[in-house]
Amino acid sequence: MKTFDYVRPATIPEAVAAASAPGAAYLAAGTNLVDLMKGGIAQPGRLVDIGHLPGLDRIEHMPDGGVRIGALVRNADLAYDRDFARRFPAVAEALLSGASPQLRNAATVGGNLMQRTRCAYFYDLASACNKREPGSGCDALGGENRLHAVLGWSESCIATHPSDFCVPLVALNATVEIEGAAGRREVPVESFHRLPDGHPERDSVLEPGELITGVRLPAEAAGFAGHARYLKVRERTSYAFAVVSAVAALRIEDGAIAEARIALGGVALKPWRVRDAEASLADARPDAPAFREAARIALADARPSGENGFKIELARRIVTRALTLAAAGTPDRVPALPASPFAPVPGELSHV
Amino acid sequence: MSFSITLTVNEVARTVTLDDPRVTLLDLLRERLDLTGTKKGCDRGQCGACTVLVDGRRINSCLALAISHDGAQIRTIEGLAKGDELHPVQAAFIAHDGFQCGFCTPGQIMSAVGLIEEAQAGADPERVREGMSGNLCRCAAYAGITRAVLDAQERMAGAGRKDAA
């Protein structure tokens, strides 16, 4: 690990000033950053430790029905907050399907948004990687790429975004609160992460020095609480990143779908919301043909970036299954194996 | 540049001067405080051998920078037994053959203590297995580990000794 200067600011303005210097990085729990530093992938010259900043560790239920989650709230604390999990069950299920209990006890909400891809070529300093070293090329193209992107990729980068948490956040219109030298701004989570587009080294829209202070979910997002599920295919039962994941959230009124939300994880360099597929379900009966059609639309633009064509059909099936599970109703408690594709599926889709 | 940090480790205040900010909590425990019960397995947050309790919560000490945990309360495997009397989780790992080579065991036991404290798994073996998924055992003693955690949890609840964790 390259050495660094360590700074522990007392206030947000002090943090922003300290992190505006070239080569500076924010440190919260460090569950991803310290790993990247050990591997030499990240080499910050200065760490700005925000772990002790006051006021960023609260889950606030707002008078308007929305919720504000401080950037330093730990993943486990959010997932196990009863009020939060009751109102946003798919977010809790996504959180509990990610990483391990030890990591969820440490990792923060802001850090989850800031985590970097797990593309093996990004981690391997001997490989070309435009995200790690702009202009060096992409060894994932033509390499071992069965887990890489099938949507939104370019020849410059075919990596995927690893977050589970962010998938329901984009489906539920969450926003990110950002503090910078120029003041505060708010960005939809859906617009926060960047596709490769010429600058794969830039993961997000954050400018130098900008700090995530919180994430907000609007009141209307709780309207899906009765029919919301996250489903995640992994290469082992637990403690693995998604091969493909999907969130499905429905508002069902008088036996018909009033509104649907669908987003995918593990398929692109950002959590992937599919509005056309959502629109196809408006006023539809929640049944297998409607869900299959929505899944078909959701993956209509997908194309393999290598040996990963299977992910397209897998994603269709996971979307269909997530919609089926959501229509059957949110369970009272997050299942023992959160987001598991091994759980039984009700009705006619049991063999999908 | 050197930094002085104070940690409470197994209920004893320890002040350590660091001349390098890169020291992890794991290396500080092992190299500076001679608490070598906490093991270094992968050193990258994937195996759980380094699990300790920080402010009552189980975390991977290999990914925690010591300097950012100034003031924290740390509990390690060395802090569980009371003299010759083993902690109920330690006793249960012996009773149920919850290990073979033993390398992952301190991490398994600290993780189990954390899991029982969190009180999310209950008596459901599937929730216990999922709750222990952050600790790998290359000898694959998982069946014994699950039985040990369930048994210890029941004994601790029965003895009204939740505070023993």
**Helical ranges in A5-107 per DSSP H:** 12-19, 33-38, 75-79, 82-87, 89-96, 101-106
Left (φ > 0), alpha (ψ -120 to 50) or beta: where does B38 sit?
A: beta
Mutate to test the interface with A, among B60, B127, B137, B142 (most CBs of A within 10 A): B60
Does the pLDDT value for residue B59 go beyond 60? Answer: yes
Q: How confident is the model at residue A92 (pLDDT cuts 50, 70, 90)?
A: very high
How many C-beta atoms surround the C-beta of residue A63 within 10 A?
7
User: If we measure between CA atoms, which residue out of B35, B25, B22, B20 comes closest to residue B71?
Assistant: B25
With tokens 């990483």, the residue in question is A99
Q: Which pLDDT does position B146 carry in this prediction?
A: 98
How many C-beta atoms surround the C-beta of residue A295 within 10 A?
27
Does the pLDDT value for residue A351 go beyond 60? Answer: no
B117 close contact with A: CB closer than 8 A: no
Report the percentage of chain A scoring pLDDT > 70. Answer: 98
Distances from the Cα of A4 to the Cα of A48, A174, A288, A313, B1, angstroms: 10, 34, 55, 46, 11
Left (φ > 0), alpha (ψ -120 to 50) or beta: where does B3 sit?
A: beta
Span B3-79 CATH architecture: Roll (3.10)
- What mean pLDDT do residues A272-289 have? 98
Q: Which pLDDT does position A127 carry in this prediction?
A: 98
Q: How confident is the model at residue B71 (pLDDT cuts 50, 70, 90)?
A: very high
B60 close contact with A: CB closer than 8 A: yes
- What mean pLDDT do residues A72-88 have? 98
One DSSP character per residue, B83-107 reads: TTB--HHHHHHHHTT--SS-TTHHH
Q: Do B60 and A30 count as a contact with CB atoms less than 8 A apart? A: no
| Residues B97-108: b if buried by 16+ CB within 10 A, e if exposed | ebbeeebbbbbb
Q: Do B60 and A51 count as a contact with CB atoms less than 8 A apart? A: no
Here the tokens at position B129 are: 């297995």
ipTM here: 0.96
**For B136-145, what is each residue's pLDDT tens digit?**
999 999 999 9
Here the tokens at position A125 are: 């300093």
Nearest to B126 among A27, A99, A337 (CB): A337
B130 close contact with A: CB closer than 8 A: yes
Contact A264, A276 (CB under 8 A): no
In a 10 Å sphere around its CB, with 0-12 CB exposed, 13-18 middle and 19+ buried, how is residue B137 labelled? Answer: buried
Nearest to B134 among A39, A100, A237 (CB): A100
Q: How confident is the model at residue A286 (pLDDT cuts 50, 70, 90)?
A: very high
Q: Which pLDDT does position A341 carry in this prediction?
A: 92
**For A101-158, what is each residue's pLDDT tens digit?**
999 999 999 999 999 999 999 999 999 999 999 999 999 999 999 999 999 999 999 9
Here the tokens at position B40 are: 């270094």
CA of B155 vs chain A CAs: smallest distance (Å): 22
Domain with CATH 3.30.43.10 in chain A: 5-52
The superfamily CATH assigns to domain B88-164 is [2Fe-2S]-binding domain (1.10.150.120)
- What mean pLDDT do residues A235-242 have? 96
Please enumerate in sequence order all residues whose Cβ is within 8 A of that of B85, keeping only pairs 6 or more positions apart, or say none: none
Q: What is the largest CA-CA distance in chain B?
A: 51
Q: Do A30 and B64 count as a contact with CB atoms less than 8 A apart? A: yes
Nearest to B124 among A3, A8, A336 (CB): A336
Q: How confident is the model at residue B1 (pLDDT cuts 50, 70, 90)?
A: confident
Span A5-52 CATH architecture: 2-Layer Sandwich (3.30)
Total CB pairs under 8 A between chain A and B: 93
Q: How confident is the model at residue A8 (pLDDT cuts 50, 70, 90)?
A: very high
Here the tokens at position A7 are: 């700074």
Contacts of A106 in chain B (CB under 8 A): 57, 59-60, 63-64
One DSSP character per residue, A199-267 reads: -TT--BSPPTT-EEEEEEE-GGGGGGGGGEEEEEE-SSSSS---SEEEEEEEEEETTEEEEEEEEEESS
Q: Which pLDDT does position B2 carry in this prediction?
A: 85
With tokens 């459901």, the residue in question is B124
Where do the domains of chain B lie?
3-79, 88-164
B11 close contact with A: CB closer than 8 A: no
Chain A contacts to B (CB-CB under 8 A): 1, 3-6, 8, 27, 29-31, 34-35, 38-39, 47, 49, 51-52, 76, 80, 99-103, 105-106, 237-239, 336-338
Contacts of B150 in chain A (CB under 8 A): none
A1: closest chain B residue by CA: B22
With tokens 């030499």, the residue in question is A40
Please enumerate in sequence order all residues whose Cβ is within 8 A of that of A89, keeping only pairs 6 or more positions apart, or say none: A225, A228, A229, A330, A334
**Does domain A225-349 bear CATH number 3.90.600.10?**
no
Strand order in the sheet with A24-27: A5-7, A46-49, A24-27
- What mean pLDDT do residues A238-266 have? 98
Contact A121, A107 (CB under 8 A): no
Rounded Cα–Cα distance for residues A208 and B98 (Å): 49
Residue A243: phi and psi, rounded to 5, are -75, -50
The mean pLDDT of chain B is 96
- What mean pLDDT do residues A21-43 have? 98
